[in-house]
């Protein structure tokens, strides 16, 4: 890491050498996914045991759908009746069997389906019966594992409030442009969870990340699996052309590594390359403002000499790090708000508009002003950093 050379981060700097072809990871050719049959549910109760026969039968499928209702997961249909698809043996309508109490067939059947889903997932991972796209994005792993790991941080620790997520189109490409802050890029991950969990269409946000992310062991592989790719014009245009929602934070290291005294003051947005990309693909630009990330790691100093030795853009000094050791690496439990603004359409411009530097400057400034104005409005309404 000490010998690594960090290129200053500008997501769409046309002058930055990239060595020809795009550096996005190419996913391996995985075998086609094979249908997996869930483990069979519990058999009907034996005659004379006081329970309805067939009331615990499991419905076909592995039960992995995240949108299933609570009643269905508990093994009961509406008004406490048997779940659809359950066995209909003799006595299925009797009161004791249909109720499915705390330790009854309904609860056991729910655990059966969860176990079946977990075993089916493990079998697909072991046998390679899953798919990744050309950038290395593993949708199943992201949905079932990575989002589950980030969700407690999102829901319980930072208690993120999401606003205006419906401004992201339900289909087709869109470019989400957000402010960047917090010393550690947790804001990008929380924005990804916000789109995944709160958008009506449950869309995936494909984040454009700096070179440094793909130079770190383990982190690089997880980033690829989560759908992140290198912040460059080629990859961004390909993703938008495929109808993906792409996220970019144009401030880069200038935003995430700024001192605490400059919090919520947007840094330079580069040369407006993200606007050019949106114009070429005719994708709307959705401004996004994030409040709360600035206070998670208040950066009061920067050990520049140590940062150069480690090959990092900065080495943060906070009130707790490195003075408290590993404990100082814990983020402060601040209260977050993520607000998505109204989209700025780009499909009304002529194709050659992407080459107009004045137009790109004006649109870049418009996006930046919208984000900054929303940040100030959210800060005025905020009662407390932590509540």
Domain range annotation of the chain: 164-296+331-381
Q: How far is CA 177 from the centre of its chain?
A: 15
Please choose, from the candidates 79, 163, 73, the residue with its C-alpha nearest in 3D space to the C-alpha of residue 382: 163
pLDDT at 87: 38
What pLDDT, on a 0 to 100 scale, did the predictor assign at position 103? Answer: 53
Tell me, rounded to whole angstroms, the distance of Cα 131 from its chain centroid.
Answer: 18
Res 273: pLDDT: 86
Cα–Cα distance for residue pair 299/257, rounded to 1 Å: 8
Beta strand spans in 100-256 (E): 161-163, 174-178, 205-209, 229-230, 245-248
Q: How many CB atoms lie within 10 A of CB 252?
A: 22
pLDDT tens string, the chain, 387 residues long: the values are 444 444 444 545 444 434 334 433 334 344 344 343 333 333 333 333 433 333 333 333 343 333 433 333 333 333 333 333 333 333 333 333 334 444 556 667 788 888 888 899 899 989 888 899 999 999 999 999 999 999 999 999 999 999 999 999 999 999 999 999 999 999 999 999 999 999 999 999 999 999 999 999 999 999 999 999 999 999 999 999 999 999 999 999 999 999 999 999 999 887 778 999 999 999 999 999 999 999 999 999 999 999 999 888 999 999 999 999 889 999 999 999 999 999 999 998 987 888 888 898 999 999 999 999 999 999 999 999 998
For residue 196, report the phi and psi dihedrals to the nearest 5 degrees: -65, -45
Query: Cα separation of 131 and 133, whole Å?
Result: 7
> What pLDDT was estimated at residue 25?
39
Total count of residues recorded for the chain:
387
- Evaluate whether 159 touches 221 at the Cβ level (below 8 Å): no
CA-to-CA distance for 65 and 61, rounded, in angstroms? Answer: 10
pLDDT of residue 112: 87
Q: Read off the DSSP letter of residue 138.
A: -
Tokens at 303, concatenated: 């050990």
CB 264 within 8 A of CB 294: yes
Q: What is the pTM of this model?
A: 0.71
> How far is residue 66's CA from residue 63's CA, in Å, rounded to a whole number?
8
Per-residue pLDDT, 26: 39
Backbone Cα Rg of the chain: 25
CATH number belonging to domain 164-296+331-381: 3.40.1130.10
Q: Specify the pLDDT at position 14.
A: 41
Q: How far apart are CA 106 and CA 110, in angstroms?
A: 6
* Phi, psi dihedrals of residue 127, rounded to the nearest 5°: -85, -10
- Helix 233-241 and helix 273-281, axial crossing angle in degrees, nearest 10: 30
For residues 240 and 246, is the Cβ–Cβ distance under 8 A? yes
Q: What token pair was written down for 240?
A: 């938008």
Predicted pLDDT at 105: 61
Cα 189 from Cα 301, distance rounded (Å): 24
Q: Let me know: does 184 contact 320? Beta carbons within 8 Å.
A: no
- Measured CA to CA, the distance from residue 272 to residue 231 in angstroms comes to 13
293 vs 16, 45, 186, 332, 375, CA distance in Å?
Answer: 29, 54, 8, 9, 12
329 three-state secondary structure: helix
CA nearest neighbour of 176 among 222, 271, 240, 233: 240
């Amino acid at each position: 890491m000490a010998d690594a050379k960090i290129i200053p981060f500008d997501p769409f700097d046309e002058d930055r050498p990239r060595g020809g072809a795009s550096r996005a990871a190419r996913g391996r050719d995985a075998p086609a996914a094979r249908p997996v049959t869930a483990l069979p549910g519990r058999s009907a109760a034996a005659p004379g045991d006081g329970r309805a026969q067939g009331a615990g039968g499991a419905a076909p499928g592995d039960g992995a759908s995240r949108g299933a209702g609570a009643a269905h997961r508990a093994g009961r249909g509406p008004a406490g009746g048997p779940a659809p698809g359950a066995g209909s043996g003799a006595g299925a309508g009797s009161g004791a069997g249909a109720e499915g109490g705390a330790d009854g067939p309904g609860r056991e059947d729910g655990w059966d389906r969860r176990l079946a889903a977990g075993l089916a997932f493990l079998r697909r991972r072991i046998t390679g019966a899953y798919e990744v796209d050309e950038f290395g994005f593993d949708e199943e792993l992201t949905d079932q594992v990575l989002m589950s790991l980030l969700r407690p941080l999102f829901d319980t620790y930072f208690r993120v409030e999401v606003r205006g997520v419906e401004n992201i189109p339900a289909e087709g490409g869109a470019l989400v442009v957000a402010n960047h802050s917090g010393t550690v890029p947790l804001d990008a991950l929380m924005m990804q969870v916000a789109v995944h969990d709160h958008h009506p269409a449950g869309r995936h946000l494909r984040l454009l990340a700096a070179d440094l992310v793909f130079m770190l062991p383990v982190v690089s592989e997880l980033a690829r699996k989560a759908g992140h790719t290198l912040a460059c014009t080629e990859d961004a245009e390909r993703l938008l052309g495929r109808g993906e929602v792409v996220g970019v934070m144009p401030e880069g290291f200038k935003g995430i590594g700024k001192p605490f005294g400059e919090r919520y003051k947007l840094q330079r947005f580069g040369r407006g390359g993200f606007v050019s990309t949106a114009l070429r693909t005719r994708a709307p630009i959705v401004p996004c403002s994030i409040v709360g990330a600035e206070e998670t790691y208040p950066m009061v100093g920067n050990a520049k000499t140590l940062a150069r030795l480690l090959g990092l853009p900065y080495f943060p000094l906070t009130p707790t790090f490195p003075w408290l050791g590993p404990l100082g690496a814990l983020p402060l439990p601040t209260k977050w708000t993520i607000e998505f603004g109204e989209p700025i359409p780009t499909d009304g411009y002529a194709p050659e508009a992407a080459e107009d530097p004045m137009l790109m400057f004006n649109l870049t400034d418009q996006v930046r002003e919208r984000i900054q104005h929303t940040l100030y409005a959210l800060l005025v309404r905020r009662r407390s950093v932590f509540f």
